[in-house]
Amino acid sequence: MSHGTWAHRAIMPAVRVLAKTPATPNQVTTARLLTGLAAAAAFAVGTEGWTSAGGVLCLISMLLDRADGQLARLTGRTSAWGHDYDLIADNIATTALFIGIGLGLRDGALGLWAPVLGVLAGASITTIFWVVERIEALTPPGRDAIPGAAGFDPDDLLFVVAPLAWLGWLSPFLIVAAIGAPLFLIPTAIYWRKLRRRD
């Protein structure tokens, strides 16, 4: 993941302020995880008000996800455990997010297919994260495992969840995610396999 994306730049002023406090990167990661789980729970309720609240919590969680690593690098408190904890928190929060969205849409047009799509999308994206980490371990330092473009990382797509929630467009988003994530996983896994053979 690149550290110079628009999201990283946007959160940097707040990180500089945070660096002057006793807050640690792992505490920020914990806040990211808790807000992510809270967003999933809010989405799971399924009402308009809770869905809007879920969008706010999701946006906060995504920004905190960018802040923890920035804070660690700025204060020189990077660690292997912090990196692993960040990945665990990301995987849990992302999986829960899609499951929550699916549960919240169960009374809509998708019916009971919505939770199934939520689980499929969440599991696929979490697996993608895991494969990308394996790819990063085989990628030379200074290079991104999955390069972004125009100042965006691939996982910056999750920032669209908040505005789509506010607009009431989570159903088509869930369908696209449930189809797109497994399809993206296939070439990602193939690329990882090629790197393993080359290594």
32-77 pLDDT per residue, tens: 999 999 999 999 999 999 999 999 999 999 999 999 999 999 999 9
pLDDT at 137: 82
Tell me which residue of 157, 118, 124, 116 sits closest to 40, measured CA to CA. 118
CB 35 within 8 A of CB 57: yes
Q: For all residues of the chain together, what is the average pLDDT? A: 91
Confidence of residue 143 (pLDDT cuts 50, 70, 90): low
142 or 37: whose pLDDT is higher?
37
For residue 1, pLDDT beyond 60? no
pLDDT at 199: 65
Q: What are phi and psi of 149, to 5 degrees?
A: -150, 140
Indicate the pTM of the whole model. Answer: 0.90
Q: Centre a 10 Å sphere on the Cβ of residue 187 and count the other Cβ atoms it contains.
A: 9
- pLDDT tens per residue, range 82-133: 989 999 999 999 999 999 999 999 999 999 999 999 999 999 998 998 998 8
Q: Centre a 10 Å sphere on the Cβ of residue 157 and count the other Cβ atoms it contains.
A: 14
Q: What are phi and psi of 152, to 5 degrees?
A: -125, 140
**The domain over range 6-198 is classified in CATH as 1.20.120.1760:** yes
pLDDT at 12: 92
